[in-house]
Amino acid sequence: MNRATTNSMSNSQTLIVQSDHGILAETDNPLYPEVRETLGRFAELMKSPEHIHTYRISSLSLWNAAALGMTAPEIVSFLSTHSKYPLPGNVVSEIEHVTARYGKIELHPSDHSATLVLKVLDPSIAAQVALHPKALQILSLSSIAGQFTLPAVHRGTIKQVLIKIGYPIVDLAGFIEGDERSLGLRAETLSGNRFVLRDYQAEAVAHFHQEGTVRGGNGVVVLPCGAGKTVVGMAVMARIQRRTLILCTSVAAVHQWIREILDKTDISPEMVGEYTAENKEIRPITVATYHILTYRHHDDFDLKYFDLFNAQNWGLIIYDEVHLLPAPVFRLTAGLQARRRLGLTATLVREDGKEDEVFSLIGPKRYEAPWKTLENQGWIAEALCHELRVPLDEKHKIIYSSSDQRVRFRLAATHPGKTAVVKELLAQHAGEPTLVIGQYLEQLKGLAKELKLPLITGQTSNDRREELYDQFRSGKITAMVVSRVANFSIDLPEARVLIQVSGSFGSRQEEAQRLGRILRPKAGGGAANFYTLVATDTVEQEFGLHRQIFLAEQGYRYTVRDIQEAPCSA
């Protein structure tokens, strides 16, 4: 074997697959970006230090891969090709065993609309299902071997029960069509811009719809913030042509959806309703907040507005930012399995670990477009990520070291020395549209006062928020201080710089949302800058390592810079 061949083999072998289902990946290998895209389809990134990233294969990651059409032989072949050492036998067996479970249990309609048929294609699995105590409360044995009947109202419940014991259900029971509602996409927006689906958006719609067969109509589309998830939702609406309920994280997101629908579809304004605390309009296309659905007067009272789900004969329910779906909406969604369901998100990571609930109740991942791929194609802005480590001065070191673990994170997150760094960054990016974002209200109020910038928090009225957002979009103001209310579904395409002064304990989903505030393509091109300020040698720096995993998953790297001296602070 000549040297060129040996080097080629060495370059292709970027992975070390371990017997504990972990995978080590050399990030400095020139083929790693290409390998990462495929690896991320069936394994989850767990750690992301500079040179070696650690992935883990899980049942859920394999089932999502299977739902996307990947087979066990394809996964094993990929790992064999890129692994430096022979694959551990137990890992190969686990991949084959777990992947084979997807498709072994199917849910079908029966001759009676009130019941469904559960078909278990493996006799040994059928025996386990028949003995499971929670399944026994729902299922009845059929006269046909390997088949059970169940009331249709328990369609979601049986999915939740069986995925917990390692058996995902492929739901082929079909959907209630819902009332017809004609809706088409415009060739030109109201503002006069040409409008056409991008290739990846059309692919996402096709993967979700599955040509109208029972194998489609439910599931999740994963796209970066700024890549047009709302457009995918509208294109699905146009494909299905049914009454639609859209659920969002905030009133601002509701307004954004309505603006987009009126701008890019031919539906008339009177056909689109806002269902929030301020307006209770139920129309053929209704856009509501999760908050209004989970509102109750008192903890002991029933959820007051859950009847919205039954107020119309919906043919489609869209869950925006599905990774933030509240637990009460999960419970209700379990009873909505006969409706088509589309989840939209930038990340499937949930901080509460309920990814299996999204999988079983909304559906599997149907489509995902890698962030870096869309960046390279110019659909989202290039992002430069920076971590600036701000040392504590002696006074705050003493306060921090003498505090208990419970309060150390807040002390680090709100370290007043960060204010001087924010000032320097604002001067460095003078005139560039900039958001300063954080977690703690008193910290944000102090920054806004010190920097003489407008402030948006949860206490800011919706009218005032919209006024400030509009001023930011028009360039009348170029910098704002915002709380976590700006994490979600806020369309500020002009934002070019984001300065994160505090966050939620290393939340990967929050990192995705905040990075998304600056990813929309910029007029005239150019990169966006994402700065995270952390207090040096504190728990905040430790959490930062976990938070950065999300960026590494998408192919981004932080540049880390230590501020040499502790800034003067009060």
- Give domain status of residue 179, yes or no: no
Helix or strand run (H / E) with residue 411: helix 405-413
The alpha carbon of residue 235 and the mean position of all alpha carbons in its chain are separated, in whole angstroms, by 19
Helix or strand run (H / E) with residue 476: none
Q: CA-to-CA distance for 317 and 288, rounded, in angstroms?
A: 11
* CA dihedral over 234, 235, 238, 242, signed as positive or negative: negative
pLDDT value for 79? 96
Q: Are residues 252 and 153 part of one domain?
A: no
Q: Are residues 384 and 355 part of one domain?
A: no
- Give domain status of residue 180, yes or no: no
Q: Find tokens 């959490």 and name the residue.
A: 543
Query: Strand, coil or helix: what is 503?
Result: coil
Structure-token pair, residue 435: 């958001």
- Give domain status of residue 189, yes or no: no
Residues constituting the chain: 570
Question: Which of 112, 98, 110, 101 minimizes the C-alpha distance to 56?
Answer: 98
> What does the angle CA 526 – CA 531 – CA 536 come to, to the nearest 5 degrees?
155
Q: Are residues 117 and 74 part of one domain?
A: no
- Give domain status of residue 54, yes or no: yes
**Which CATH number does the domain housing residue 120 bear?**
3.30.780
The alpha carbon of residue 303 and the mean position of all alpha carbons in its chain are separated, in whole angstroms, by 26
Q: CA-to-CA distance for 266 and 402, rounded, in angstroms?
A: 62
Q: Are residues 94 and 123 part of one domain?
A: no
pLDDT value for 11? 59
Structure-token pair, residue 568: 């003067």
DSSP state of 242: B
Concatenated DSSP letters of 71-120: -HHHHHHHHHHHBSSPPPHHHHHHHHHHHHHTTSEEEEE-SSTTEEEEEE
Q: CA-to-CA distance for 203 and 197, rounded, in angstroms?
A: 10
C-beta of residue 168 within 8 angstroms of C-beta of residue 218: no
C-beta of residue 284 within 8 angstroms of C-beta of residue 312: yes
Integer-rounded Cα Rg, in Å, for the chain is 25
Query: What pLDDT, in 10s, does the model give residues 45-101?
Result: 777 666 788 889 999 999 999 988 899 999 999 999 999 999 999 999 999 999 999
Q: Are residues 220 and 258 part of one domain?
A: yes
pTM: 0.82
Q: CA-to-CA distance for 102 and 170, rounded, in angstroms?
A: 7
Structure-token pair, residue 397: 């070191």
Q: What is the 3-state secondary structure (H, E, C) of 107-140?
A: EEECCCCCEEEEEECCHHHHHHHHHCHHHHCCCE
Q: Are residues 158 and 55 part of one domain?
A: no
Query: Strand, coil or helix: what is 175?
Result: coil
Q: CA-to-CA distance for 370 and 223, rounded, in angstroms?
A: 7
Among residues 369, 398, 433, which one ends one of the domains?
Answer: 369
> What does the angle CA 28 – CA 32 – CA 34 come to, to the nearest 5 degrees?
150
C-beta of residue 1 within 8 angstroms of C-beta of residue 20: no
CA contacts within 13 A on the Cβ side of 516: 25
Q: CA-to-CA distance for 7 and 570, rounded, in angstroms?
A: 58
Q: Are residues 552 and 459 part of one domain?
A: yes
> Which residues does 125 contact at the CB level (< 8 Å), separation at least 6?
101, 104, 105, 167
Q: Where are the beta strands (DSSP E) in 190-271?
A: 218-222, 244-248
Q: Are residues 355 and 212 part of one domain?
A: yes
Structure-token pair, residue 449: 């006062």
Provide the number of structural domains found in the chain. 4
Number of Cβ within 10 Å of residue 555's Cβ equals 18
Structure-token pair, residue 326: 């509240």
* Full domain range(s) for residue 56: 3-101
Query: Count H helices, E strands: the chain?
Result: 22, 23
Q: Are residues 145 and 205 part of one domain?
A: no
DSSP state of 249: S
**N-terminal to C-terminal alpha carbon distance within the chain:** 68
Q: Are residues 154 and 47 part of one domain?
A: no
Per-residue confidence of the chain (570 residues) as pLDDT tens digits?
333 333 334 456 899 999 999 999 998 888 888 888 899 889 987 776 667 888 899 999 999 999 888 999 999 999 999 999 999 999 999 999 999 999 999 999 998 889 999 999 999 999 999 999 999 899 998 878 899 999 999 999 999 999 999 999 999 999 999 999 999 999 998 888 899 999 999 999 999 999 988 889 999 999 887 889 999 999 999 999 999 999 998 888 899 899 999 999 999 999 999 998 888 899 999 999 888 877 555 454 444 556 777 778 999 999 998 887 877 787 778 788 999 999 999 888 776 778 888 899 999 999 988 777 888 888 888 888 888 999 988 888 888 888 887 788 888 889 999 999 999 999 999 999 999 999 899 999 999 999 999 999 888 888 888 898 889 888 899 999 998 777 665 666 678 898 999 877 656 667 777 777 777 776 667 788 989 899 998 888 877 776 677 677 667 777 888 887 544 443
C-beta of residue 222 within 8 angstroms of C-beta of residue 347: yes
Among residues 369, 397, 428, which one ends one of the domains?
Answer: 369
CA separation (Å) from 209 to 33, 203, 221, 328, 356?
Answer: 30, 10, 11, 27, 22
- Give domain status of residue 151, yes or no: yes
Q: CA-to-CA distance for 488 and 322, rounded, in angstroms?
A: 11
**Which CATH number does the domain housing residue 473 bear?**
3.40.50.300
C-beta of residue 276 within 8 angstroms of C-beta of residue 251: yes
Q: CA-to-CA distance for 72 and 339, rounded, in angstroms?
A: 31
Q: Find tokens 């009331």 and name the residue.
A: 151
* CA dihedral over 68, 365, 246, 512, signed as positive or negative: negative
- Give domain status of residue 10, yes or no: yes
Among residues 74, 101, 128, which one ends one of the domains?
Answer: 101
Q: Are residues 214 and 360 part of one domain?
A: yes
- Give domain status of residue 425, yes or no: yes
Q: Are residues 432 and 449 part of one domain?
A: yes
Query: What pLDDT, in 10s, does the model give residues 320-367?
Result: 988 878 777 877 787 889 999 999 998 887 767 788 888 999 999 999
- Give domain status of residue 412, yes or no: yes
